[in-house]
Amino acid sequence: MNPLSIAVAQPNFTVGDVKKNLAKITDYVDRAKKELGCRAIVFPELSLTGYPPEDLLLRTDFLEQVDDALLELMARIDDIHVIVGHPLRDNNQLFNAASVIYRGKSIASYRKRELPNFGVFDEKRYFSAGHTPCVVDIDNCKVGLTICEDIWHRQPAADSVDAGAQLIVNLNASPFNIDKAREREAQVVSERAREVDVPIVYVNLVGGQDELVFDGGSFVVNSKGQTISRGHFFQEDLFCVGINDSPDDNRARQVSLLSNEESVYQALCLGVKDYVHKNGFSGAVLGLSGGIDSALTLAIAADALGSENVEAVLMPSQFTRAMSIEDAQAQARSLGVAYELISIEHLVESYRLALDPLFAGLPKDTTEENLQSRIRGNLLMAISNKTGKIVLTTGNKSEMAVGYATLYGDMAGGFAVIKDVPKTVVFALARYRNQQSAVIPERVITRPPSAELAPDQADTDSLPPYEILDPILEDFIENDLSPAEIASKGFDRGTVDQIVRMVVRNEHKRRQAPPGVRVTRRAFGRDRRYPITSGFS
């Protein structure tokens, strides 16, 4: 195989903004030629549209914009091979395609063969599947094109090699979850390279899109499955690799894989940053209670958006402990975040007086507790309306799973930062963030969690310890195990049944929750689509 220098580009595209995406592509092409001297450059899956474009793909006017942009891109390309992902219309069918553009025209196009239709993916809703390999000559190197899911299956790569490919290029929009980077590199792509005995260039998208975060981390493996070069995670990147380089060559560019805590934290920051910026908000506002969930959310928001663009609001009631106010103020000051303190006691009293005639003779229960949360939600939404800042909610996955959250209260907002982060992981992320710089007061991390909506309240009044709760939730939600199967692992059957009932009973709440960053293998919303009304027991 003749040596080939190829640039690997992982830009942060915006779904639907075809003109902006085109401008970014042409900028990267110019950099690859002028700064890196590369003969080819490869972009991620569906670069022109951003990923996933969802039902935009059903609009003729949108597809016409894509077609026009592709023609404009061809007109701008001269002496460099550009491999770019885009939707392709042909005979009343739509394909997820990759084209090779050189000297003003498309010299080859490939149509994705393996269309994922599970988890967060709905590609069979939009695309028809291709059936044949595509191998193109780039500077006397035979390059086989594949797209994302193709590389998880043996046949597309094997067919490319049978058609003469000496190198396989794989365009991806692979969303992040914990350990996904290791899985795709070590267990899938490296194994596939060894299996077909050719190098593989794996280019991945980076950026936040609604609930999904794409982590980048593009890489190149040689025919032995050894990683030659790896790009940065959670940031735009462009690097050039010589396909014949060895891992020890001084051209090789190695970026370390991240720890679980670091990768999740960076995913949350990127998800918040892109959601706020791409949707045109001026910043973010959140309720800061002195508890660990809001503390972690504030740290993420400040790191993602800059402390000057974040506002914290402390809203104590008669049940708020003094140390909660102290800790919340201390954290806001340590991060340089502006904060306001608004007592809600008089508002709670006003609500009570208004409702007393209706509630006469009825005992107090969670209704009175939830009023406090809903008052806080109203105040935050008013601040959002007035300032243009988005409200960030602070509930975690464990709470969302069992319904330990208040509709139109602490669930009210525009983006739920940690809605897919189990409580045990919240603690781990708080400790990770404090290793960088101590911004979360230690007492926030160590004291028992409490909603502080009633006297001396603790989460364990209503829930088992999170060390027990979270594994049960993972098995039921992410692994689809039955209560009997979960209990067989050593959990108390009564506790398992209680938790499962709570999860199922609160599906209606989760349907009304704002979007939030997906970090686990199966998040509520796009991943786990459970009926609200169901007779299944």
Any catalytic annotation for residue 509?
Answer: no
Any catalytic annotation for residue 33?
Answer: no
* Best CA proximity match to 78, nearest among 43, 44, 36, 30: 30
Geometric angle at alpha carbon 289, from 287 and 295, rounded to 5° = 85
* Best CA proximity match to 87, nearest among 107, 117, 59: 59
Give CA–CA dist 307/293, Å, rounded.
18
Q: Which is catalytic among the residues 24, 45, 141, 452? A: 45
Inter-residue contact 348 to 317 (CB < 8 Å): yes
Inter-residue contact 380 to 410 (CB < 8 Å): no
Inter-residue contact 86 to 49 (CB < 8 Å): yes
H-helix or E-strand containing 509?
A: helix 507-511
Sequence letter at residue 103: R
Geometric angle at alpha carbon 271, from 442 and 45, rounded to 5° = 145
H-helix or E-strand containing 508?
A: helix 507-511
Inter-residue contact 41 to 83 (CB < 8 Å): yes
H-helix or E-strand containing 393?
A: strand 389-393
Q: Residue for token digits 């069918």?
A: 93
Q: Which residues of 365-386 are buried (b: 16+ CB within 10 A; e: fewer)?
A: eeebbbbbbbbbbebbbebbee
User: Hey, what are 499's tokens?
Assistant: 């938790």
Q: Which is catalytic among the residues 24, 112, 423, 509? A: 112
Give CA–CA dist 1/48, Å, rounded.
31
User: Looking at residue 128, what DSSP letter applies?
Assistant: B
CB neighbourhood size of 188 (10 A): 16
Give CA–CA dist 364/101, Å, rounded.
70
Any catalytic annotation for residue 269?
Answer: no
Give CA–CA dist 174/181, Å, rounded.
9
Q: Which is catalytic among the residues 38, 134, 141, 148? A: 148
What are the catalytic residues?
Answer: 45, 112, 148
